[in-house]
Amino acid sequence: MTTVSNDTTSDYLKSLQGATSGKTGDSATGASTLGKDSFLQLLVTQMQNQNPLDPQDNSEFVAQLAQFSSLETMQNLSTSVDAIGGMYQSSQALQASSLVGRSVIADSSSTNVDTSKGMTGQVVLPSTSTITSVEISDSTGTVVRTLDLGEQSAGKASFTWDGTDEAGQPLATGNYTFKATGSLDGTNTGLTTYLPATVTSVTMGSAGAAMTLNLANGENIALSKVQQIGI
């Protein structure tokens, strides 16, 4: 009568556990492709063909069942994690589709401005500024307008530009750069600006990375830099 060694099932199960812990899903190579069903078949075969003069010890049999239970738990956990990952990607895709074409206010130094409508932005002040200004430059780097905001308290200060130059002449629609400065404790300091922009497309993140918003001015920013999402 053919007999199956008592160590065969334990060794096989350990190889399964090692492969499962090293790679999730059913695509792992080697013994892990056989899965838990093959282990059960091997266990049953072992019991049916064990040496009657040297039967399997009860404690060893219970230990093998405990190992099998642990393996099954890990495989089920792997399946659950894969399902959660798929749901997260679906949620990202839905969120991305809802952002395209919408206006956002984001941490940025430039934006595309429709000068016939003007625009409103914000300056972030870490402390009180006695002299605050916003310098506006066109796509060639030429300064076309400087907005004097005067003294501002710590926090966020709004500013509005009507799309005209220093002489009050309307400028062409296009990309403009905004450079905000303030006098903080007597030191001229660069300040962060939040500007409106339109989302033209979204790049989906991979391997858990965040989405990237592609704006009308050609800039790409992370979703985390968005302060407000408009209509």
Sheet strands (E) in 18-165: 103-107, 110-113, 119-125, 129-137, 143-152, 155-161
Using CB atoms within 10 Å of the CB of residue 178, give its burial: 0 to 12 exposed, 13 to 18 middle, 19+ buried. Answer: buried
- Would you say residue 195 has pLDDT above 50? yes
108-117 per-position pLDDT tens digit: 899 999 999 9
Distances 197 to 103, 147, 159, 181 between C-alpha atoms, Å: 6, 20, 15, 21
Architecture field, domain 103-229: Sandwich (2.60)
Is pLDDT larger for residue 203 or for residue 69? 203
d(CA 163, CA 158): 16
- What is the pTM for the complete model shown? 0.58
d(CA 54, CA 58): 12
Contact status, residue 132 vs residue 152, Cβ threshold 8 Å: yes
Q: What one-character-per-residue DSSP string does 164-190 give?
A: B-TTSPBPPSEEEEEEEEEEETTEEEE
Computed over every residue of the chain, the mean pLDDT equals 78
What is the percentage of the chain residues whose pLDDT exceeds 70? Answer: 69
Question: What pLDDT is attached to residue 84?
Answer: 72
The full length of the chain comes to 231
Binning pLDDT at 50, 70 and 90, where does residue 26 land?
Answer: very low
Is pLDDT larger for residue 189 or for residue 51? 189
Question: What pLDDT is attached to residue 231?
Answer: 58
3-state secondary structure of 134: strand
Binning pLDDT at 50, 70 and 90, where does residue 212 land?
Answer: confident
Handedness of CA 14, 18, 19, 25 (dihedral sign): positive
Question: What pLDDT is attached to residue 206?
Answer: 66
121-162 per-position pLDDT tens digit: 999 999 999 999 999 999 999 999 999 999 999 999 999 999
Phi-psi domain of 39 (left: phi exceeds 0; alpha: psi -120 through 50; beta: other): alpha
Question: How do the domains of the chain map onto residue ranges?
Answer: 6-99, 103-229
Contact status, residue 105 vs residue 226, Cβ threshold 8 Å: yes
Mean pLDDT: which of 39-43, 57-61, 73-77, 157-161 is highest? 157-161
Amino acid at 42: L
Amino acid at 84: I
Q: DSSP label at 224? A: G
Q: How far is CA 18 from the centre of its chain?
A: 30
In the predicted model, what is the mean pLDDT of residues 204-217? Answer: 74
Contact status, residue 147 vs residue 161, Cβ threshold 8 Å: yes
Binning pLDDT at 50, 70 and 90, where does residue 89 land?
Answer: low
3-state secondary structure of 60: helix
